[in-house]
C-alpha cells in the first residue's frame, strides 16, 4: 500500500524483455534507504517487487499482465519515473490509499496555465471514470491528486508548481500516456452494494446505505 506522495524521481537504466515479461532496472537513491530484497516500490503507480539492488539502483520483474494494463512497457533508458516506498503504518497519509494496482492507461489531453499552476485534463476509459467523483482522489502515475472536474471523456486536476517540479507530471505533454488507479474505497463500496439492488450502485442506494 502507498500514499501517492512521490519520494523521488528515478531514471530507467534498462528494460529487458523475455518471454512476454520484462526486467526493469532503475537508478534511485532515497527510496533505497532501508529497502531490502522483496520490498515493494511503486514505479509510476505500479507496485513492483525489488529482486536485485545495489547502492544506486534496483531491479524488478514486470509480469505479462502488468505490461498489458500499464505503460511501463513504453519506458526507455533515460526515462524518468515516479518512485515511492511502501507505506509504514506509523507514517502520515498525506495523499490517499494507493494500492499500486493500475486500472487502466489514460492520456493527457490538455495542459493550460491556471493561476500559479496548471489545469491538466486527461482522457480516461469508463472502467476508471465510473469511480471518479469531483473532489475525490485519483492516482496518476502514482501521484495522489484531487479531481477538479469531470466531463464525458475524462477529468481534470490542478497541478501546483511543487508537483510539476518533483514528479514526471511536470514533463508530460498532450498525447502522453499515464497510469490511472481509481480510489480503492469506491471499488469496495461498489462490490459490497452492487449485489443488493438490481442495477448496481446509485446515489439513492448510497443514501439508503448511509454512504451519502
- Which triple of cell numbers denotes residue 195? 449485489
Catalytic residue among 49, 54, 56, 202: 49
Catalytic residue among 29, 54, 56, 146: 146
Active site residue 162: no
Alpha-carbon distance of 93 to 76, in angstroms, equals 31
Q: Which residues pair with 16 in a beta bridge?
A: 23
Q: Which residues pair with 150 in a beta bridge?
A: 155
Catalytic residue among 28, 42, 47, 60: 47
Catalytic residue among 3, 22, 28, 40: 40
Catalytic residue among 56, 63, 171, 211: 63
Catalytic residue among 14, 21, 79, 101: 101
DSSP, collapsed to helix, strand or coil, labels residue 63 as: coil
Active site residue 33: no
Report CA 150 to chain centroid distance, whole Å. Answer: 18
Active site residue 66: no
Report CA 191 to chain centroid distance, whole Å. Answer: 21
Active site residue 101: yes
Are the beta carbons of 47 and 69 closer than 8 angstroms? no
Active site residue 42: no
Active site residue 137: no
Q: How would you class 161 by CB atoms within 10 Å of its CB: exposed for 0-12, middle for 13-18, buried for 19 or more?
A: exposed
Alpha-carbon distance of 179 to 25, in angstroms, equals 19
Active site residue 47: yes
Which are the catalytic amino acids?
Answer: 2, 40, 47, 49, 63, 101, 146
Amino acid at each position: 500500500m502507498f500514499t501517492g506522495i512521490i519520494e523521488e524521481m528515478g531514471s530507467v537504466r534498462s528494460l529487458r524483455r523475455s518471454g512476454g515479461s520484462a526486467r526493469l532496472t532503475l537508478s534511485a537513491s532515497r527510496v533505497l534507504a532501508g529497502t531490502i530484497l522483496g520490498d515493494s516500490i511503486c514505479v509510476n503507480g505500479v507496485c513492483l517487487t525489488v529482486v536485485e539492488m545495489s547502492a544506486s539502483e534496483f531491479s524488478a520483474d514486470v509480469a505479462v499482465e502488468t505490461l498489458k494494463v500499464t505503460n511501463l512497457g513504453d519506458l526507455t533508458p533515460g526515462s524518468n519515473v515516479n518512485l515511492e516506498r511502501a507505506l509504514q503504518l506509523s507514517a502520515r497519509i498525506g495523499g490517499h490509499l494507493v494500492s499500486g494496482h493500475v486500472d487502466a492507461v489514460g492520456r493527457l489531453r490538455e495542459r493550460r496555465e491556471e493561476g500559479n499552476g496548471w489545469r491538466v485534463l486527461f482522457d480516461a476509459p469508463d472502467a476508471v471514470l465510473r469511480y471518479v467523483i469531483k473532489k475525490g482522489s485519483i492516482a496518476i502515475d502514482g501521484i495522489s491528486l484531487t479531481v477538479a472536474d469531470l466531463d464525458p471523456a475524462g477529468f481534470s486536476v490542478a497541478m501546483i508548481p511543487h508537483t510539476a517540479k518533483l514528479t514526471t507530471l511536470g514533463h508530460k505533454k498532450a498525447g502522453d500516456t499515464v497510469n490511472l488507479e481509481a480510489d480503492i474505497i469506491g471499488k469496495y463500496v461498489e462490490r459490497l452494494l452492487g449485489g443488493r439492488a438490481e442495477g448496481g450502485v446509485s446515489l439513492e442506494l448510497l443514501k439508503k446505505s448511509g454512504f451519502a
